[in-house]
Amino acid sequence: MTLVKTQIGRRAFIVNTGLASGGLVLGFSWLNACKPEQASKMAAMEMPKEWFEINAYLKIGDNGVATIYSPNPEFGQNVKTSMPMIVAEELDIDWDKVLVEQAPFNSQLFGRQFTGGSQGIRRGWEGLRMAGATARQMLKEAAAQAWQVPAAEITTAAGILKHEASGKTAGYGEMAAAAAKLPVPEEVVLKEVKDFAIVGHSKKNVDGNEIVTGKPMFGVDYKPEGTLIAMPVFPPAFGLKLKDFDASSVKAMPGIVDVFTIKTLEDDYVRNGFDTDTHTEPIIIVGKSTWEVMQAKKALRAEWQPFEAHTHTVAGWGGEQKVTVPAGLESSRDHLASMQAFDTKPARVARRDGDPEAAFKKAAKIVERSYSCPFLAHNCMEPMNFYAHVTDEKADLAGPLQAPELIEGTLAARLGLPIEKIDIHLTRMGGGFGRRAYSHHAVEAALASRQVKAPVLLMYSREDDMHFGIYRPAYHATYRAALDENNNLLAFHVKAGGIPETPLHANRFPAGAIDNYLAEAWDIPSNITIGAFRAPRSNFIAGAEQSFLDELAEEMGKDPIDFRLELLERATTNPVGENNDYEADRYAGVLKLVKEKSGWGAAGAGVSRGVAAYFCHNSYAAHVLDLKMENGRPKVDKVTCAIDCGIVVNPDAAANMAEGAIVDGVGNAMFGEMSFSDGQPDKSNFDNYRMIRMLEAPREIDVHFVQNEIAPTGMGEPPFPPVFGAYANALYKATGTRHYHQPFLSDKPRIIG
Amino acid sequence: MATFNLNINGSQREVDVDPATPMLWVLRDHLNLVGTKYGCGISQCGSCTIHLNGVATRACMLPVSAVGNQEVTTIEGLSENGDHPVQQAWLEVDVPQCGYCQAGQIMSAAALLKNNPSPTDAEIEGAMNGNICRCGTYVRIKKAIKLAAASTKEA
């Protein structure tokens, strides 16, 4: 038994918090003829006549049915199922008696409602368990008072309270009214992991039925009667701003209501790190229907001019700092030349162990390789959009975003409204991948609504979405290894940078495994906006590092898995340095598991295999990728994957996410590329930005999890970065050629590398 | 503007729109059938797939004026109770991640199976290659299509 103090998120446990059981939490209900979410499941269930709120996370009906609120925004990682599973586990209720609803955005009640950084389950774990356990304890107390027996003698199972000695039993519904009036317990008992009946047992997506029947769930579907459509017109290139435009050229077009400019961020506004927005002065066209606004967008005549370098202030964890956005119209060809030039200059030393310079001097052999990757666009299937209805008194917003708390303050400042007058409803997101952590589109919608004094749904076209990206940066890394005459590894050197940030993680593997180690970083400023993209920085550096280790193993005459395990053995038993931010034995664990499950060393005829492993977002992942050449093209036949992310809450859903990460990785390794010419993105839609399709996807993906009782760590991102290395290493085996520059299968001449 | 009488999911619906308006926006903006999704507007991603006389068709480049009295089926009309074999197979395999593209995937899959009840892997890949899933659920989509094919044969 684990006894814990109920201190985390305590506000959420205060009874009668004012979280109404009606309209406030239903969110979408009015859109769908007042049908609550999960209408189908509810129809099949006898609904309670009355609900009793136990805490902010759950309410229990008089017939024992529970509604559990999922606090985090959902973008396909299935937290809307897995977070309530954790609550239900500790509540000790039958999953069939649970209804799930999206919680409202209310950080005072729910704390961090940020879906990103693979932290949803990791950081929600303790609070969600406590929400369920607290409710169970209150139900026990209520039964104890009713039956006049000690609460400690009451047990629970699947929503039933039982007192063994007196033979009394009651369903949760019978005690819910009394429980809701009790004080919140100071301490609660948490279940032992071995006793889990829901966590660790796969449950279907709670929104599955709504998805396959096309119910309104997404931001683009949020359009109450009277909502106008707004679309932005951005400068055609980074480095340009608006000079002038001719509103009359479109104002008379059918269905057009208004054309105007907005300014999303005032020049002196102190931004937070997620207020990323290069195009702060778009033209907005508002009309009655999407098609009519799209026609006006095409017809609008506007002139653009280069902007000067300018500076704004960003408040970050390290205090306020000035950020300068350089002027200029940048091109990918110049980026390549700049990165290659920086690669030869002295850089910032991020870590030094031993005497790497001396070791390189006495080396019998030096292996040196350089790697690069281009910018990437997120390309969420649901383009950026947001609903807003702003009046002088309040702002009502709804839409897809990963981090409502990061835009709330910006909205308040920009609209001149107190935060409590701003209500943000969380809609299901049609993909996120980091892009929706940046919510400038919510500000654009709010300003558009204020201007036209009506509710608006602000929509990006696919071209807007791709052209105003907050892209994955372009990166470059050079790796060097010093070997002695017996091919022993003497020293290791990594020097990595990018536009505009370095991908280096100086304290990750193989730091800690090599006596003489040097890590250096550099960066080149740019006016192209960048931001988080599934496993930021790791999504490049993992592939580069794991490709280099593969080549090094071959040079040293070692099996690639054995070579990594030797390094990890050193890092486990006698680590170099103290700041190694990975657990070497868990890292080795996924490599051993993937070796076993893939039947490493016994690849079938015509199969070329590549291996890679990586640690990020507190979790470990390793892949063995099987590649076959078919009609002269590489085809991924199978990927075997091993992950250590601690306790797996919903195994089948976690496997789905790993499968998706692998497909995403294979696609970006093969084709992913955004390039620029004179500031203008070269690609604008899926006809020229190549995305992976079913024909190119792996035929089979086999996901395995390391079984342990460690509290859950990240899952959405960790399986993504190592795919690039496994793919490159398999491609080498298949073709005899090492691939250093992504994308590996570009049909066009390389922009970079 | 012009008036069109459309046969959508078995009902006659009247809309007054610009004849060039693609069916995607007629469905979404004028008929409040929002299950059909916008993804690219140029028939490249398949999110807007509907059935036109039973044939999988991208609604984003289909002008309303070209529809006439052909039968239009959207995800909302694929089955009465969400129990089309493809929808059931999607739930059984738990295919969706974000879910945004899935209505289009299901409409493409349902049209495939209608014409070819036992497709080979190559036939599935060929029929589904016009539907992008950014979350990467392709392995499950293929599995669900095979399951739907098998369950239809049993029935």
A487-529 pLDDT per residue, tens: 999 999 999 999 999 999 999 999 999 999 999 999 999 999 9
Please list every residue in chain B whose beta carbon sits closer than 8 Å to the beta carbon of residue A431. 98, 100, 134-135
The pLDDT score that the predictor gives to residue A433 is 96
Nearest to A560 by CA among A514, A508, A611: A611
Residues of chain B with pLDDT under 50: none
Neighbours of A184 (CB within 10 A): 17
Q: Is residue A9 part of a domain?
A: yes
The pLDDT score that the predictor gives to residue B27 is 98
The pLDDT score that the predictor gives to residue A19 is 37
The pLDDT score that the predictor gives to residue A119 is 85
In this predicted structure, the answer to whether residue A28 has a pLDDT above a threshold of 60 is no
Please list every residue in chain A whose beta carbon sits closer than 8 Å to the beta carbon of residue B46. none
Average pLDDT over every residue of A635-664:
98
Average pLDDT over every residue of A718-745:
96
User: Taking the domains of chain B in order of start, what are their residue ranges?
Assistant: 2-77, 85-154
Kindly identify which residue of chain A lies nearest to residue B101, measuring between CA atoms: A381
How do A700-705 and A633-644 pair as beta strands? parallel
Whether the CB-CB separation of A380 and A433 falls below 8 Å is answered with yes
Banded pLDDT at A23 (limits 50, 70, 90)? very low
The pLDDT score that the predictor gives to residue B132 is 98
- Contact at CB, B44 and A686, closer than 8 angstroms: yes
Q: Give the integer Cα–Cα distance in Å for A717 and A658.
A: 9
Domain count, chain A: 3
The pLDDT score that the predictor gives to residue A5 is 61
Nearest to B96 among A205, A215, A687 (CB): A205
Q: What is the pLDDT of residues A361-420, one digit of tens each?
A: 999 999 999 999 999 999 999 999 999 999 999 999 999 999 899 999 999 999 999 999
The pLDDT score that the predictor gives to residue A44 is 60
The domain boundary residue, chosen from A404, A434, A459: A459
CATH homologous superfamily of B2-77: Beta-grasp domain (3.10.20.30)
The pLDDT score that the predictor gives to residue A10 is 47
Average pLDDT over every residue of A190-198:
96
Nearest to B138 among A207, A292, A694 (CB): A694
Check whether residue A11 and residue A40 sit in a common domain: yes
- Contact at CB, B134 and A78, closer than 8 angstroms: no
- Contact at CB, B75 and A694, closer than 8 angstroms: no
Q: Give the integer Cα–Cα distance in Å for A554 and A556.
A: 5
Kindly identify which residue of chain A lies nearest to residue B123, measuring between CA atoms: A695
The residue among B58, B105, B135 with the most chain A CBs within 10 A of its CB, best to mutate, is B135
The pLDDT score that the predictor gives to residue A521 is 98
- Contact at CB, A229 and B29, closer than 8 angstroms: yes
Nearest to A462 among B41, B96, B138 (CB): B41
In this predicted structure, the answer to whether residue A7 has a pLDDT above a threshold of 70 is no
- In sign, the C-alpha dihedral spanning B23, B26, B31, B35 is positive
Write out the two tokens for A186. 């100071």
Check whether residue A142 and residue A261 sit in a common domain: no
Q: What is the pTM of this model?
A: 0.94
- Position B137: which residue type? T
Write out the two tokens for A377. 């666009």
In this predicted structure, the answer to whether residue A751 has a pLDDT above a threshold of 80 is no
Q: Give the integer Cα–Cα distance in Å for A290 and A275.
A: 27
**Shortest distance, CA A155 to any CA of chain B (angstroms):** 34
The pLDDT score that the predictor gives to residue B90 is 98
- Contact at CB, B134 and A461, closer than 8 angstroms: no
State whether ipTM is beyond 0.95. yes
CATH class of B85-154: mainly alpha
The domain boundary residue, chosen from A168, A186, A212: A212
Q: Tell me the average pLDDT of chain A.
A: 92
Q: A389 lies in which domain range?
A: 219-310+384-459
Q: Give the integer Cα–Cα distance in Å for A115 and A79.
A: 9
Q: What is the pLDDT of residues A315-342, one digit of tens each?
A: 977 789 999 999 999 999 999 999 999 9
- Contact at CB, A685 and B42, closer than 8 angstroms: yes
Whether the CB-CB separation of B46 and B130 falls below 8 Å is answered with yes
In this predicted structure, the answer to whether residue A14 has a pLDDT above a threshold of 70 is no
Average pLDDT over every residue of A180-201:
94
- Contact at CB, A291 and B18, closer than 8 angstroms: yes
Place of tokens 């509604």: A67
Same fold, B2-77 and B85-154: no
In this predicted structure, the answer to whether residue A533 has a pLDDT above a threshold of 80 is yes
SS3 A333: helix
In this predicted structure, the answer to whether residue A13 has a pLDDT above a threshold of 90 is no
The pLDDT score that the predictor gives to residue B153 is 77
Whether the CB-CB separation of A669 and A729 falls below 8 Å is answered with no
What does the radius of gyration of chain A's CA atoms come to, in whole angstroms? 28
The domain boundary residue, chosen from A459, A486, A507: A459
Write out the two tokens for A456. 């608006």
Q: Is residue A549 part of a domain?
A: yes
- Contact at CB, A700 and B139, closer than 8 angstroms: yes
State percent of chain A over pLDDT 70: 93
**Shortest distance, CA B33 to any CA of chain A (angstroms):** 9
The pLDDT score that the predictor gives to residue A109 is 83
Q: Give the integer Cα–Cα distance in Å for A501 and A537.
A: 9
- Contact at CB, B129 and A694, closer than 8 angstroms: yes
In this predicted structure, the answer to whether residue A207 has a pLDDT above a threshold of 60 is yes
Average pLDDT over every residue of A607-613:
98
Nearest to B97 among A657, A687, A692 (CB): A657
Nearest to B76 among A214, A462, A662 (CB): A214
Check whether residue A195 and residue A225 sit in a common domain: no
SS3 B138: helix
Residues 6+ apart with CB under 8 A from A416: none
Q: Is residue A75 part of a domain?
A: yes
Q: What is the pLDDT of residues A113-139, one digit of tens each?
A: 888 887 888 889 999 999 999 999 999
The pLDDT score that the predictor gives to residue A30 is 28
Residues of chain B by 3-state class (helix, strand, coil), percent to 5: 40, 15, 40
The pLDDT score that the predictor gives to residue A15 is 42
Domain at A530, CATH number: 3.30.365.10
- Contact at CB, B106 and A212, closer than 8 angstroms: yes
Check whether residue A22 and residue A102 sit in a common domain: yes
The pLDDT score that the predictor gives to residue A21 is 35
Banded pLDDT at A278 (limits 50, 70, 90)? confident
The pLDDT score that the predictor gives to residue A106 is 86
Average pLDDT over every residue of A181-190:
90
Neighbours of A263 (CB within 10 A): 13
In this predicted structure, the answer to whether residue A38 has a pLDDT above a threshold of 60 is no
Banded pLDDT at A49 (limits 50, 70, 90)? confident
Please list every residue in chain A whose beta carbon sits closer than 8 Å to the beta carbon of residue B144. none
In this predicted structure, the answer to whether residue A1 has a pLDDT above a threshold of 70 is no
- Contact at CB, A211 and B96, closer than 8 angstroms: yes
Strand blocks (E) in A406-513 = 422-426, 456-459, 474-483, 489-499
In this predicted structure, the answer to whether residue A17 has a pLDDT above a threshold of 60 is no
Nearest to A376 by CA among A79, A62, A668, A47: A668
Q: How many helices (H) and strands (E) does chain A have?
A: 19, 32
Whether the CB-CB separation of A469 and A277 falls below 8 Å is answered with no
Banded pLDDT at A4 (limits 50, 70, 90)? low
Q: Give the integer Cα–Cα distance in Å for A9 and A190.
A: 16
State percent of chain B over pLDDT 90: 96
